[in-house]
Structure formats: structure tokens, C-alpha cells
């Protein structure tokens, strides 16, 4: 087969995969049937409330970053496991150095042994796509970063897309538009590295010029301010608890935690807590086409993969020993035919893992 025919076949297969992925997302969306809340029902400003703009009905919130400050909000309650979701539209144009984060944490209660689950969007220079990463910390295990980095199959600045974090006693799943992109299954070997203490949900936009884009090579350009990240369709599913009560109770099961047993079981029975065979196919397609770094394949960093890593041969073949994708292993996007030009759409200061700044 000639190079031209192989390229056309690759483009066709990619196009068919996108259609299949979109169909799966629509079906999953209907199956999740998630109730949404207003901002006022579940959240409160975290910092720089002058840069938080709510809609009249409080169903949407915009976070702004300008030369004065970033901004962020936090859930009003802590949750003993949960499902956290929102539809997000990211800033466009030149976003180098800008980070939009949607994550869970309890660092303000357990400063030295906090838990955290991250979806962090890493801006880029004009004309380059947004990148994002997922990460997990348990019991203060910040020395063992578990980053995976990806691009997207759509432009996240054009429209809203849903991003979700499932966290149960047994597994963690990160979703994009109801497509599972990463699953972590709890094992005894993980010990305290698996997040297990109540967490709040955070959303922030902030200046990460020192590391976010090419290791700090491209800082935020404030001539493009304000950078606006839009949030709507808020979902907070889980059992609210008092973390102070958890701390004071020590090894004793607190009353609020005990009362959560039924809620945990109910959540773990939901469809979003399990990946269907169709979901597995969608996740495999995403990871084989859009994941460009994984700590599980980074043998320079970890000579022995961390215990939760599931080594997939088709994934491993794409990566170097550094966990970075090999040149040419990601299908090229189809080139536009020559002719008449067509118009097209163009945190607070919390501690971030900067060890793998831009890969």
C-alpha cells in the first residue's frame, strides 16, 4: 500500500472512531442522568471573589485571571467519596502559562498528609491546542507524582464540555464528556497512596508562568487579559461530612462517616462507577491517540511501575523509557486542501507538581 493510501486510510479510521466516540458519549450522558445544582447551593468563593462572575440565576460561574489576580471557588462542604462534575469552557487565544484546575483536595485540613485528585488544563501558545493532565496524591505522597498528560479530540475553547471525577472506596475514574479516560483501581499494595480522607471540590484559574508551558519558556501574556474560564452544570454527588470531626475521632469511626455507608453503596452502584465494555473501547481509543505522557511507562522515574499501573502493550509501544510519546506514534490530523481560505474558530497559590512541567 502506498504512503498516500495509508495516510488516507488512517484519516478515515480516525474519523470513524470520532463518530463512534461521539455516539458513545451521547448514550452515556443519558445513562448518567445527573442532577445539577446552582453555584449558591454548593459552592463559595475561594479567593479573589472580585474575579468571579455569576450568572443571574447562579447556574453558571466565570473565573477570571488578569494582571491583578486569578480566582477560584470551593465546595461549601467536604465529601466522604463522591462524583464531582461540571461543564467547562476554556479561554481561547494565547493562553501560555495559564492553568485552569478542577480538583479535589483536603490540604487545608491535613497539610502534611493531604489527598488530591486533579484535572489541570495547561494553556498553550496561540495556535497550539490546550493540553491537560490528571494526577493523584494520597496521604501526602507528593514525591510520587502520578501524572498522565493528554490532548483532546475537540477544541475546548469553542463550547462547553463536561469533565468529571469519580472517587469511591474501590476506584477512581476521570471522565471527559462521559468518556472514561483513566481508571485507578485500589489495591492493598497502594497502602496510604490511595486517597481516603474527605475532600472538597475546587476550581481555579491562575498564573503558572514558571512551569506550565515548555517549562516556563512562555509566560502569561497579559495583553490578552482577561482570561475567562466558564463553568456550568455543577454536580456534587456524595456524602457531606465534617473533616474536623474525622480528625478528632482518630481511629474511631465518626457518626457522620458511619451515616455515609448507605450513600457510598448507592453511589458505587451507579453506572458511572463502572466502565462498560463499550467504555473500555472508548478509553483505549483515547489513550492510544491522545495520551502523550504516562508515569506508568516512565522507567527513568520509576524503575518499577507503581502498584496501580496496568501495563498495556499497545500503550507501552508508543512511549519511550521517559514515558513520553515517540515521534510519529500519534496520527497526524488531516491537512486542509489548498484553495480559498475558510474561516475557522481559532488557585490559589497551592503547591503543584512541577517535576514533569512540559513533555
Residues annotated catalytic, as ranges: 116, 120
The C-alpha cell that represents 182 in the structure block: 483513566
Give the contacts of 54 (CB within 8 A, at least 6 positions apart): 39, 40, 60, 61, 62
For 315-347, give one letter per residue: b (16+ CB within 10 A) or e: beebbeeebbbeeeeeeeeeeeeeeeeeeeeeb
The C-alpha cell that represents 119 in the structure block: 484535572
The C-alpha cell that represents 262 in the structure block: 448507605
Which neighbouring-strand residues pair with 179? 176
18: how many CB neighbours lie within 10 A of its CB? 14
In residues, how long is the chain?
359
**How open is the CA angle 228-234-235, to the nearest 5 degrees?**
145
The full DSSP string for 76-109 is SSEEEEEEEEEEEE---S--TTEEEEEEEE-TTT
C-alpha span between 151 and 117 (Å, rounded): 19
Identify the CA nearest to 157 among candidates 129, 125, 118. Answer: 129
Residue 354, burial from CB neighbour count under 10 angstroms (0-12, 13-18, 19+): middle
Amino acid at each position: 500500500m502506498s504512503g498516500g493510501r495509508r495516510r488516507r486510510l488512517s484519516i478515515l479510521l480516525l474519523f470513524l472512531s470520532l463518530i463512534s466516540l461521539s455516539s458513545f458519549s451521547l448514550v452515556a450522558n443519558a445513562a448518567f442522568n445527573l442532577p445539577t445544582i446552582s453555584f449558591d447551593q454548593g459552592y463559595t468563593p475561594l479567593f479573589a471573589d472580585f474575579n468571579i462572575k455569576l450568572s443571574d440565576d447562579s447556574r453558571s460561574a466565570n473565573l477570571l485571571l488578569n494582571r491583578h489576580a486569578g480566582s477560584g471557588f470551593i465546595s461549601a462542604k467536604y465529601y466522604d467519596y463522591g462524583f464531582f462534575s461540571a461543564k467547562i469552557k476554556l479561554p481561547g487565544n494565547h493562553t501560555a502559562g495559564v492553568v485552569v484546575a478542577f480538583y479535589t483536595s483536603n490540604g487545608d485540613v491535613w497539610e502534611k498528609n493531604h489527598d488530591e485528585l486533579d484535572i489541570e488544563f495547561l494553556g498553550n501558545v496561540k495556535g497550539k491546542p490546550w493540553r491537560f493532565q490528571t494526577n493523584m496524591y494520597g496521604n501526602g505522597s507528593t514525591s510520587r507524582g502520578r501524572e498522565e498528560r493528554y490532548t483532546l479530540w475537540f477544541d475546548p475553547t469553542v463550547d462547553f464540555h463536561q469533565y468529571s471525577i469519580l472517587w469511591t472506596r474501590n476506584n477512581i475514574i476521570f471522565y471527559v464528556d462521559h468518556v472514561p479516560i483513566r481508571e485507578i483501581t485500589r489495591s492493598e499494595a497502594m497502602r496510604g497512596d490511595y486517597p481516603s480522607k474527605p475532600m472538597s471540590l475546587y476550581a481555579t484559574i491562575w498564573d503558572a508562568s514558571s512551569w506550565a508551558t515548555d517549562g516556563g519558556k512562555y509566560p502569561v501574556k497579559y495583553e490578552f487579559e482577561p482570561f475567562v474560564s466558564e463553568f456550568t452544570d455543577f454536580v456534587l454527588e456524595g456524602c457531606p461530612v465534617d473533616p474536623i470531626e474525622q480528625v478528632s475521632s482518630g481511629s474511631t469511626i465518626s457518626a457522620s462517616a458511619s451515616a455515609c455507608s448507605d450513600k457510598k453503596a448507592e453511589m458505587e452502584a451507579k453506572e458511572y462507577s463502572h466502565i462498560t465494555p463499550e467504555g473500555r473501547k472508548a478509553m483505549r481509543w483515547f489513550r492510544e491517540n491522545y495520551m502523550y505522557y504516562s508515569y506508568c511507562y516512565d522507567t527513568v522515574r520509576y524503575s518499577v511501575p507503581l502498584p496501580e499501573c496496568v501495563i498495556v502493550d499497545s500503550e507501552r509501544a508508543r512511549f519511550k523509557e521517559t514515558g513520553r510519546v515517540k515521534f510519529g506514534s500519534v496520527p497526524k490530523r488531516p491537512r486542509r486542501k489548498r484553495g480559498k481560505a475558510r474561516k475557522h474558530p481559532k488557585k490559589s497559590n497551592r503547591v503543584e507538581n512541577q517535576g514533569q512541567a512540559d513533555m
